[in-house]
Amino acid sequence: MSPTPVFKIAPTTQQYDWGKTGSTAKVAQFATTSKLPGFTIDESAPYAELWMGTHVKSPSRIYDTGEVLSEHLAQHPELIGPSVCAKFNASHGNLPFLFKVLSIEKALSVQSHPDKVTAEKLHAAQPDIYKDSNHKPEMALALTPFRAMCGFRPLPSIASSLKQTPEFAALIPQPIQDTFLSLSTSSTPTGPLEKAALRNLFEAVMTTNEGACKAQLDILVERYKKGELRDGERRDLADLVMQCNTHFPGDIGLFCAFLLNYVVLEPGQAIFLGAGEPHAYVSGECMANSDNVIRAGLTPKLRDIPNLISTLTYTASPPTKHYVSPSPFSPTTTTTGSPSTLYDPPIPEFSVVQLKLAPRGEEKHRPVMGPSIMIVTDGEAVVRWELEGRKERMLNVGLGDVVFVGAGTEVRFEAGDGEFVVYRAFVEVY
């Protein structure tokens, strides 16, 4: 007898110190309302991430039985699908994505995700630190107003900060500054010379000795405290420096405010960070997919500055390069305008669908030729599907519930008396 393709799973919570505390965190709210087994909220504890997937560090389990999800999928690979099993070596039950909710109170580390080759090298050399040999590109989809630094700013923008903010310029040897400034208006900003100049600039900042860094930050922070902005300096970047300094005083990562794009996402907006793109999430709550990073600043954890410097792409661009443009997921929907919105980053490992239904609304999702994990972020609904052409099955879901959907399963959603919102991560191979 075939296993049911739709069932609830129990995610896991991660209590990193940057998380929102107690019931202010959506991570804790979802764990509470879904009656996550063994979970009791501690109002003084941080709740940073909710993990939904098969990561060996903290795997999800089947809600009703407690069986580890990856073990169940290994016994029933048809739930993953043959094409996904073949492409991602997922026959042992390991999904190619880790779906997460992040609740951020203070900035995460300045970091990047390694590519596949680098991930394998780092895992082989330092398996106690780099626990995963896979590359982990990341997409962040805002649930609340969400602030982040992502990718290198355009070269002219960085050059402006060098000219406007003397404390930033003081960290960088004059020959490196001169070379960078001479290339900052180049018509080929991603050319080899321009990338080398940006790398030298970034390396000079990130390898500044602690004493010089602290001295310049003290001057900068004191000036910003007095409200003294020089001509051309941005108030939002000054506020960003001050906020990060509250949690990480004297940290070299604060100077990344002058190197990286700073964005504020509204709910429903998303950014994608490919391998080798520096970024740091500052505040807010989002859906994300990843867990393999190289850190360098704004963190009490191990910093691997040499590997970060050597693996970045040094592609300078406006922040719009990182935005993910949404599109309708269900072109056959019978409603006016699709309530299902697809966020499809330029990688094969995962995509995400946001479904937002009005009270008593309905929507059908076509069969996806790969596994899905979805989480309810608002409201209640009934999920219906058929099991091998037999009698229709149903599952009641509510706020915080996490559900696995097997490959090739068509599902129908029927919202309750209020608005219903669910996020569904999936991988599909044709």
**Could you confirm whether 360 is annotated as catalytic?**
no
Cα separation, 158 vs 110, whole angstroms: 17
pLDDT of 96 reads 87
Helix, strand, coil percentages in the chain from 3-state DSSP, rounded to 5: 30, 30, 45
Judge whether residue 294 has pLDDT over 80: no
Judge whether residue 50 has pLDDT over 80: yes
3-state secondary structure of 123: helix
Judge whether residue 178 has pLDDT over 60: yes
pLDDT of 284 reads 95
Rounded to 5°, angle at Cα 174 from 168 and 180? 80
pLDDT of 291 reads 47
Over range 301-313, report the average pLDDT. 79
Judge whether residue 263 has pLDDT over 60: yes
Task: Please give the C-alpha separations between residue 60 and each of 16, 85, 296, 308, in angstroms, as whole numbers.
Answer: 18, 19, 30, 30
pLDDT of 109 reads 84
pLDDT of 226 reads 96
Running DSSP on this structure, what letter comes out for residue 333?
-
Task: Please give the C-alpha separations between residue 151 and each of 245, 258, 335, 358, 425, in angstroms, as whole numbers.
Answer: 21, 11, 38, 36, 24
**What is the reported pTM?**
0.91
Of 147, 153, 295, 424, which residue is the catalytic one? 295
> For residues 80 and 116, which has the higher predicted lDDT (pLDDT)?
80
pLDDT of 225 reads 96
pLDDT of 1 reads 63
Residue spans of alpha helices (H) in 151-278: 155-164, 166-169, 174-183, 192-206, 210-225, 235-247
Over range 70-83, report the average pLDDT. 96
Judge whether residue 332 has pLDDT over 60: no
State which amino acid sits at residue 104: I
**Confidence band, pLDDT 50/70/90 cuts, at residue 218:** very high
pLDDT of 383 reads 98
Which residues, at least 6 apart from 160, have a Cβ–Cβ distance to it below 8 Å? 232
Judge whether residue 300 has pLDDT over 60: no
Judge whether residue 335 has pLDDT over 50: no
pLDDT of 134 reads 61
Over range 380-401, report the average pLDDT. 91
State which amino acid sits at residue 73: L
Identify the CA nearest to 254 among candidates 159, 246, 429, 21. 246
pLDDT of 184 reads 98
**Confidence band, pLDDT 50/70/90 cuts, at residue 298:** low
State both tokens at 346: 């330029």
Q: What is the mean pLDDT of the chain?
A: 91
Of the ranges 240-249, 324-333, 346-355, 367-376, which one carries the lowest mean pLDDT score?
A: 324-333
Using an 8 Å Cβ cutoff, are 378 and 344 in contact? no
> For residues 119 and 283, which has the higher predicted lDDT (pLDDT)?
283
Using an 8 Å Cβ cutoff, are 217 and 250 in contact? yes
Over range 14-29, report the average pLDDT. 96
pLDDT of 114 reads 76
Over range 234-242, report the average pLDDT. 96
> For residues 220 and 330, which has the higher predicted lDDT (pLDDT)?
220
pLDDT of 334 reads 47
Identify the CA nearest to 60 among candidates 49, 45, 47, 48. 49
Over range 409-415, report the average pLDDT. 96
**pLDDT above 70 coverage of the chain, percent:** 90
116-158 pLDDT, tens digit each = 777 677 656 666 655 565 657 789 999 999 999 999 999 999 9
**Confidence band, pLDDT 50/70/90 cuts, at residue 313:** very high
Running DSSP on this structure, what letter comes out for residue 377?
E
Over range 4-27, report the average pLDDT. 96
**Confidence band, pLDDT 50/70/90 cuts, at residue 56:** confident
pLDDT of 390 reads 72
Judge whether residue 215 has pLDDT over 80: yes
